[in-house]
Structure 1
């Protein structure tokens, strides 16, 4: 016989009082939970008094009720009868409670379409590298120039220096570009840099080169972080269902949800306006389809997210010409952005140096599906006093887009760049309208206008039409006109073909400023895995015909490009060498150019072991057991492994794969700890010349390890020394074997014997 209690949001008469005394005392019960007719596989703790139940806020949250929406704290003890909309049935005999809850008080099942496995902390080994690009040209005074980057890295950060050495006929010099030390913290998403840097800027401000200090936010330290607002789509499933999400008719996500409300977060795959459709299907195949419009702009910051940058130092002058020319007066610059909500992002920027002080604020506002409006207002005081205002608008739709921006400066408005000799434009206008149609064609119209103080203004309009024929060919027709200089105009027709095998052909004809020109070229760059590439080109720029041919070779140690060209009858040749030299783990390794993270694989001196990057074989270890793996993604998982089947038979290894997460511009030592062990199969026989029977116990005295004799008198012995002693014990059989061992050079596991087991210590027969 079962006892039941029915709980509702309104008070109900309780069940008859049970005869046992404990019925009048509150006590804990642990019950199986059923929610809206479905078993939840959850055992929850409740408090019972006379058939009525209460539970803690934490347990209600685990069951799936939205306690934040109900105003319930995790520590609160809540009678189920007091929760509006909740009905329950308590089956004491089966130790089960069945809850009926509307979607309004249930937690939605939430899943993130961009959810990634947590990335381990980024690491760096200690090392040094030199990136280089050497260019030599014949028949000129500029005979040889060598650009180089010297980079030291360790777990604390990266030191980098760049510059070019000019070894010309009458000019030998070295020009330094940038020198800096940088360190990053993925926990706080910031980077600090000491030395030469470029100041931050917004769409309505300008960057300058500064030698000093920079502290800035760096979202690249978290590649999985979505910095702009993304829509969330919700729905409700009566029974467990599958969910498909389509954005502009392209499926972006598919998954399964339990019954009840659900939310799909962080939907990727679109920039601008579009249509999202959520389709749920239950076990019987019945579908429910819901469509909503959406608009995504990557310039906005997600609600609550902030970015910042602060620089202090001295303005760099004559960059690329002078190695150490800085303005003697200190300068400051700072920028900040904050996502107030999914519709509004605020911006601010300020600059200061001797005689110039500049500050401004701006905002980006998403107007629903009507696009994003941006604007700013800034002012400067001191020797350069004035104001600047900007206004812009962008709308991206599947069949139409417009991007417009206008900036006006009034008075003698100035900033750090103007203080250093680059005046602020008094007017900047930009408008682009694009109309895609028939999915393969695009027509666009653009206008760009600039006006500088005491300079001829420029106003250029252009039109372009593009036709794509699958992946095989494309046609582009364009024309421009400078409205301030009537004779400055041009029109061009370009056709490109893809011939397969990474080979392409392009032809362009046009007329510019009253002169006709054409260009025809064909090329096949080297494959990423390495090999040969080539290119040929011919054309005529007005009255100057030119011809060019080049051949490239890309290897694991770098890239070589040889080029011959003829311009107006003058022939020259050039040779370009680029690559990297890495010093790590006591070795010096040449490599193709390294831009970001990389790994040095070590197999403890074992050569010829294939190395895999993302399950692709990229090379084998050299005689020192090393192979360099370039092009790893910093702050992301990179799967690197070795082919364990190619290891020597006497080699042991704990793992053959690693997930490497290098810091930016740093290298990681991927040490696959390979140990060599001395072992052999030994054939044992008795004095009668017959092999010992299976099952006999064998003890190796030097290592203390025990094993047994197998079929054919074979036993496998590990930990062998130069001299070895075996003790055999099998019932009435007690004997010893002594033998010498030398490890084979080829890493094989030899078979020794047959060896005669003697009853007394003596020589092996």
Structure 2
């Protein structure tokens, strides 16, 4: 025994002698990096491992964060790792360092990494590693690119929106005139697109001979969205898109172009990128203009923040990085972005072919010269967007270019140049220069437009001319969210009518807790001159009520009014308004009451002024034919859904936390106001469902196309619910936990205490099968003819053994 202990002691001494000198201590500090950021390497030549090289399985803590157990190479007292390990640690391969080969693998020295420090505890085989932030790969915090959602199947539907107004006026000694006006919109929605046609009727049934009745068509357009490609095709009446130097124009024809709104969350503008680094894992807080926007976890190393929510203008972003020990690192960076800029490489375009349209709303079909036009915009860089636009018709051709660019002082610079030529070969030109800076407290907008006498654009009337010069200056400043001041100057110089100027100034200040007091003044000079000075008070109250008061002075005299309003709350209900005031030489008063339900809107307004009294009645709503049924609903200005809850009438249906309508006697409800191409979560009011109702979920989602309908059916298990007591032939209750099956339904239930089981989906006559401990039996359960109680109690029913 003594000889064996002596042999073991000798072996232990020999093993300790073979260890490197630094390994003799229970805890060892590996040499730190030298002045250049890398530790000096000792030992054999590069690429040749020392004969004492061996692998170590160690528990690693990396920059104060545990990363688990890893196998590292111990070579001449220095630690090495494979590229796969470094990749898992998010560490880049050390530049300029040489690897060594060991057991058919390449090993890279950790001491060659910036900021290398190591502490190894032999007793626990724990290794604490620290590296400088630049040793790690960059972490990019950005939002994944928005992708189009899978659309719900469009249910073919026909709908009619109506806005009906009837007006009755009465004056002393004057015949009482009355008239009716109506605005209608007829829509056909299918999987191939949506056809919309709108009309207006004026003075229908009018008793005033000076106001003849008329009916006019407004627009008729078929729209097809290609949401996977962010493109929209329109056939019929529509308008061209405006550019820097050109306005939009109504026309009838064909339009094809990009439509980024088809992909929810798609950001067409470039967003700022913030960069920083963290010495250890921690939390990151992002503040934009002193408002907390997001909180994220960040690992050690450099990082970039690119997942800003959509913002515009200039401001200051502040990133606060807090490590595990509570130490903070603050990074402050100014930023600028604008919706007028496109993301680098992004293209935005539109092509139009058709005929110019004039007198929309006055004439049903005043189409004139055939034309073609196109607009193309592209983000060359994150700070530079170019655009070009061309228009062609036989009597007029126009072309121009424009530029939007970020300027060094957090401002957007704009410039455009256009030229035109008409049928008489008269040529004109137009120049635009603009500057815009908007931040949290300040705003500056400058704009200068010059055009020659012969400059023309499509959509100009034969006698219309562009202004010779337009100048606009808009300034604002906010004082710590308590007050703001604004100044606007506009100068318009025409070729024939001289110069006009408008100066407007305002000062707004907070009063009380939520009120706002506004002082304003306007001065107009030129062909027409005048002034207005005034003061207004806006005072919000509880229940969304608002009180307003205004007093102003013009050349004609003093005017003023006081008003109070309460809007319709929670989408449905009653709202009202009252107003009383004085203008010129008479007093006047107005009042109105409004009601909105899931089926429409009703309103009544009464106005009295001097000897004249006017009553206006208004009704708005929609009629829909869908899925073989007719429905009435509120105006369908967006997409909509036909919700079906079979067998459950008067169940509240809505979304976004609001109940908008209720199911009818057949369990159907027409739900308006769905957002196209977005996920809409439709929810039933659980309080309106009986306890026996069986639904997989009271929520369903729909992604409708633009102004189209989708069918949403909530799977409901039909039948009645009842609490049934089941006994054996000797009168004893069946054991708790017994499995019960409703024959012909497949639904399983379990017996509770006293032999009671709650069954759902019961019809007038039912058979249930029970099974426990090898015993099989069946029982007949019949429902009574009429029961007022919501939960029926039945039994006891006898379960008789079945023969195999």
- Partner in structure 1 of residue 506 of structure 2: 464
Match of 2:347 in 1: 306
Per-residue Cα deviation, 1:519-573 (whole angstroms, up to 9, x for no partner): 3322222223322222222334324543322222222222212122223422221
Partners of 2:162 and 2:620 within 8 A in 1: yes
Residue 628 of structure 2 corresponds to residue 594 of structure 1: no
1:237 paired with 2:282, answer no
Counterpart of 2:395? 355
Q: Which moved more, 1:407-416 or 1:443-452?
A: 443-452
Match of 1:372 among 407, 412, 418: 412
SS at match of 2:459: helix
SS at match of 1:501: helix
Separation (CA, whole Å) in 2 of partners of 1:603 and 1:680:
21
1:109-508 correspondence runs (5 A): 109-112=139-142, 120-123=149-152, 124-139=154-169, 143-166=179-202, 167-169=204-206, 171-268=212-309, 271-327=312-368, 329-383=369-423, 384-418=426-460, 422-469=464-511, 472-485=514-527, 487-508=529-550
Q: CA deviation at 1:198?
A: 0.8
1:107 aligns with 2:119: no
CA contact (8 A) 1:654 1:673 kept: yes
Q: Within 2, Cα distance between the matches of 1:694 and 1:185? A: 59
What is aligned with 1:576?
618
* TM-score of the superposed pair, with normalisation by structure 1: 0.84
The residue number in structure 2 matching 1:566 is 608
1:289 and 1:190 map into 2 onto residues whose CA distance is: 43
| Structure-2 residue corresponding to 1:26 | none
Task: State the shift of 1:176 in Å.
Answer: 0.8
Does the C-alpha gap of structure 1 residues 511 and 63 become closer, same or farther in structure 2, counting only changes over 3 Å?
A: same
Q: Is the 8 A contact 2:72 2:80 kept in 1?
A: no
Cα distance change on mapping 1:619 and 1:88 into 2, 3 Å: same
Confirm or deny: 8 A CA contact 2:417 2:431 kept in the other structure: yes
Q: Given that residues 134 and 301 in structure 2 are in contact (C-alpha distance below 8 angstroms), is that contact kept between their aligned partners in structure 1?
A: no
Flag the 1:363–1:17 CA change in 2: closer, same or farther, 3 A. same
Within the candidate set 676, 681, 689, 1:634 is matched to 676
Query: Which deviates further from its counterpart, 535-544 or 376-385?
Result: 535-544
2:90 aligned residue: 64
Shift of 1:449: 2.2
Secondary structure at the counterpart of residue 665 of structure 1:
coil
TM-aligned CA deviation for residue 482 of structure 1: 2.3
Q: What does 1:89-108 align with in structure 2 at a 5 Å threshold?
A: 102-104=132-134, 106-108=136-138
Does the C-alpha gap of structure 1 residues 631 and 755 become closer, same or farther in structure 2, counting only changes over 3 Å? closer
Q: Deviations over 1:604-662 (max 9, x none)?
A: 13113333523444454221212333333333333222245654455432222123333
Alpha-carbon distance in structure 2 between the residues aligned to 1:162 and 1:395: 40
User: What's the secondary structure of 1:416's corresponding residue?
Assistant: coil
The answer as to whether partners of 1:679 and 1:749 remain within 8 angstroms in 2 is yes
C-alpha distance in 2, partners of 1:705/1:719? Answer: 9
Question: In 2, distance between residues paired with 1:592 and 1:136?
Answer: 19
Cα deviation digits, residues 711-730 of structure 1 (max 9, x gap): 54556778867666677888
Deviation string for 1:24-78 (max 9, x for gaps)?
xxxxx999987557444598999x9xx986547xx865552569999xxxxxx99
Cα contact 2:146–2:264 (8 A) shared by 1: no
Runs (5+) with no aligned partner, structure 2: 1-14, 24-29, 32-37, 97-103, 170-175
1:364 to partner: Cα distance: 1.4
Task: Flag the 1:653–1:491 CA change in 2: closer, same or farther, 3 A.
Answer: same
| Bigger mean CA deviation after superposition, 364-373 or 119-128 | 119-128
CA pair 444-686 structure 1, distance change in 2 beyond 3 A: closer
SS at match of 1:143: strand
| Pairwise CA distance, 1:15 | 3.0
User: What is aligned with 2:627?
Assistant: 585
Tell whether the 8 Å contact from 1:650 to 1:747 is kept in structure 2 after alignment: no
* Deviation larger for 697-706 or 463-472: 697-706
Q: Residue 9 of structure 1 contacts residue 82 of structure 1 at CA under 8 Å; is this kept in 2?
A: no
CA offsets 1:673-697 (integer angstroms, 9 cap, x no match)? 1121467655455665555677888
SS at match of 1:299: coil
Q: CA deviation at 1:221?
A: 1.8
Structure 2 counterpart of 1:74: none
Aligned twin of 2:35: none
Partner SS for 2:460: helix
Contact 2:271–2:308 (CA under 8 A) maintained in structure 1? yes
Q: Is the 8 A contact 1:650 1:676 kept in 2?
A: no
Shift of 1:339: 1.6
User: Partners in 1 of 2:774 and 2:603 — Cα distance?
Assistant: 78
| Distance in 1 between residues matched to 2:621 and 2:565, nearest whole Å | 22
TM-score where L is the length of structure 2: 0.80
Change (3 A) 1:698 1:609: closer
Name the CA distance, whole Å, in 2 between partners of 1:704 and 1:507. Answer: 68
Query: How many residue pairs were aligned?
Result: 741
Q: Distance in 1 between matches of 2:315 and 2:776?
A: 86
SS of the aligned residue for 1:227 comes to coil
Where does residue 73 of structure 1 map in the other structure? none
1:15 maps onto 2:49 in alignment: yes
- State whether residues 119 and 637 of structure 1, in contact with CA within 8 Å, keep that contact through their aligned partners in structure 2: no
Compute the displacement of 1:421 (Å): 5.1
**Partners in 2 of 1:363 and 1:760 — Cα distance?**
87
The match for 1:539 is: 581
Which has the larger displacement, 698-707 or 497-506?
A: 698-707
Contact 1:487 / 1:513 at 8 angstroms: preserved in 2?
A: no
Quick check: 2:654–2:671 contact (8 Å CA) kept in 1? Answer: no
In the alignment, the residues of structure 2 paired with residue 476 and residue 168 of structure 1 have an alpha-carbon distance, to the nearest angstrom, of 44
Q: 1:743 to 1:673 in 2, by over 3 A?
A: farther
Q: Is the 8 A contact 2:148 2:262 kept in 1?
A: no
> 1:665 aligns to what?
707
**Bigger Cα displacement from structure 2, 620-629 vs 705-714:** 705-714
The DSSP-based 3-state class of the residue aligned with 1:583 is strand
Instruction: Tell me if structure 2 keeps the 8 A contact 1:295–1:368.
Output: no
Structure 1 pair 694–565 and aligned structure 2 pair: CA distance change class (3 A): closer
Cα distance between partner residues in 2 of 1:727 and 1:270:
64
Give the alignment partner of residue 560 of structure 2, picking from 500, 512, 518: 518
Deviations 1:419-439 (A, max 9, x none): 665432222221112232353
CA separation of 1:31/1:176 partners in 2, compared to 1, >3 Å: closer, same or farther?
farther
Contact 1:273–1:369 (Cα < 8 Å) also in 2: no
Shift in alpha-carbon separation, 1:419–1:244, aligned structure 2, 3 A: same
Quick one: which of 652, 658, 661 aligns to 1:610?
A: 652
- What is the aligned partner in structure 1 of residue 8 from structure 2? none
Indicate if the aligned counterparts of 2:552 and 2:560 stay in contact, CA closer than 8 A.
yes
